[in-house]
Structure 1
């Protein structure tokens, strides 16, 4: 039986922390679906298509990773993809406090899908997509926080 996991996020932009989680999941699960979600609370830098293109570029080395877009309830999407697991990356206690109610609600909506929390590596614990955009806005160096192709695209978008 194939074990499929869904790793959802807005990925605006994808960071090295995201890539770290994807790589580690690719070693554990038979198939990892990176699901780009639309976050209505955020004003995105990249279009859905651009995010998918960037994610496809940075995950190309793992044949068991695919990238897709998702709308609606995450548990419904996971069920459509025959996933047994939703992966949520954690950087800090505040991430955990945000993620636990989400995981509990997902369990109430579909008790067959488990949520796995995966801690990011220490070096990525302070990295967020929002901070990357803030640093790039003022021409700061984001090269240690995102893959090279993403850095190039962020600067181009932010600074014309």
Structure 2
């Protein structure tokens, strides 16, 4: 059976912390589906199409990484893509407590889908998309925060 994992998030934008988690999980799964959750209550800095394209560009050399968008419950999206696992990156104890609560509810809804927690590499443990958006908004140097392809594209704009 193919081991398919859904890595959900808003990825607004995808950061080096996100890519660290994806890169380190490549050997764990046969397919990683990066699922960009669409939340009508949030107004993202970057369009859904832009975020999806950035991820496709980063992983264009890695056919086992796919990108989708979805609305609603992550557990339902898992069923739609055939994922048996949900991947979550953990930066801190606070992240773990929040993510564990979500994992417990997901398990109640479908006990066949396991949540896998992968701690971030120490150098990315404080990196959050919200902080990156602030750096970008105020023209700060995001070179240690974002993948190279995103930095190049943002410099063009």
TM-score (norm 2): 0.94
Listed as ranges, the matches of 1:16-27 within 5 Å are 16-27=16-27
Matching residue of 1:138: 138
Listed as ranges, the matches of 1:56-71 within 5 Å are 56-71=56-71
Kindly provide the CA deviation profile for residues 95-141 of structure 1, in whole angstroms up to 9, marking residues without a partner as x.
11211111011001111100010101001111111101111222111
Kindly provide the CA deviation profile for residues 17-66 of structure 1, in whole angstroms up to 9, marking residues without a partner as x.
10111111212101110001123453201111111001101112212111
Instruction: Say whether the 8 Å CA contact 2:87–2:115 is kept in structure 1.
Output: yes
Instruction: Say whether the 8 Å CA contact 1:88–1:116 is kept in structure 2.
Output: yes
Moved over 3 A (4+): 39-42, 152-156
**Secondary structure of 2:11's match?**
coil
Kindly provide the CA deviation profile for residues 62-111 of structure 1, in whole angstroms up to 9, marking residues without a partner as x.
12111111112111110111111000111111111211111011001111
- Supply the distance in 2 between the matched residues of 1:117 and 1:78 (Cα, whole angstroms): 16
- Supply the distance in 2 between the matched residues of 1:148 and 1:77 (Cα, whole angstroms): 29
Matching residue of 1:93: 93
Instruction: Say whether the 8 Å CA contact 1:19–1:59 is kept in structure 2.
Output: no
Provide structure 1 residue ranges, at least 5 long, that are not aligned to the other structure. Answer: none
In structure 2, relative to structure 1, the CA distance for the partners of 1:91 and 1:155 (3 Å cut) is farther
TM-score (norm 1): 0.92
- Supply the distance in 2 between the matched residues of 1:57 and 1:150 (Cα, whole angstroms): 9
Instruction: Say whether the 8 Å CA contact 1:32–1:65 is kept in structure 2.
Output: yes
CA RMSD of aligned residues (A): 1.4
Provide structure 2 residue ranges, at least 5 long, that are not aligned to the other structure. Answer: none
Count of paired positions = 157
How far has the Cα of 1:154 moved from its partner?
4.5
In structure 2, relative to structure 1, the CA distance for the partners of 1:132 and 1:139 (3 Å cut) is same
How far has the Cα of 1:11 moved from its partner?
0.1
